[in-house]
Amino acid sequence: MAYEAVHRYARISARKVRPLADLIRGKYADEALEILKYQPHRGARMLEKVLKSALGNAEEQRATNVQQLMVVDARVDQGPMFKRIQPHARGMAFMIKKRLSHIRVAVDSPLRE
């Protein structure tokens, strides 16, 4: 059984977090936490929190061995956008899109197929 955690409406663009999700997908959970710990990106902190939450969910639901869990799915989907207007010269206005994302991490035992 996969244990998952989701951070919806995260105030960061999905394209900034996706490369970090690619780094941890398929790794053991403790190794993934070490990788994220040393990444200098704001998205790494968010992904780290979601991964810790997924591990907590596994522990809460009495997973057999929390130390041996593997990141089976790390997905970052685009969420809605806040649209803001930036005034520009000669009475024009440009649209600013503040992008949100949904971060989803699932952990499971590597023995299960």
Whether 34 shows a pLDDT value over 80: the answer reads: yes
The reported pTM is 0.90
Q: Is residue 22 part of a domain?
A: yes
Q: Is residue 54 part of a domain?
A: yes
Count of structural domains, the chain: 1
Whether 113 shows a pLDDT value over 90: the answer reads: no
Per residue in 1-25, pLDDT (tens digit) is: 789 999 999 999 999 999 999 999 9
| CA–CA gap between residue 59 and residue 78 (Å, rounded) | 29
What pLDDT sits at residue 1?
Answer: 79
Q: Is residue 98 part of a domain?
A: yes
Residue 28 sits in a domain whose CATH number is 3.90.470.10
Structural domain harbouring 98: 3-108
Q: Is residue 113 part of a domain?
A: no
| CA–CA gap between residue 39 and residue 77 (Å, rounded) | 20
> Containing H/E element for 75?
strand 70-87
Report the chain's terminal Cα–Cα distance, integer Å: 10
Q: Is residue 24 part of a domain?
A: yes
Q: Is residue 60 part of a domain?
A: yes
Average pLDDT value for residue range 65-79: 93
| CA–CA gap between residue 75 and residue 25 (Å, rounded) | 9
Those residues whose C-beta lies under 8 Å from the C-beta of residue 89, and which sit 6 or more positions away, are: none
What pLDDT sits at residue 63?
Answer: 66
Whether 112 shows a pLDDT value over 80: the answer reads: no
Contact 76, 30 (CB under 8 A): no
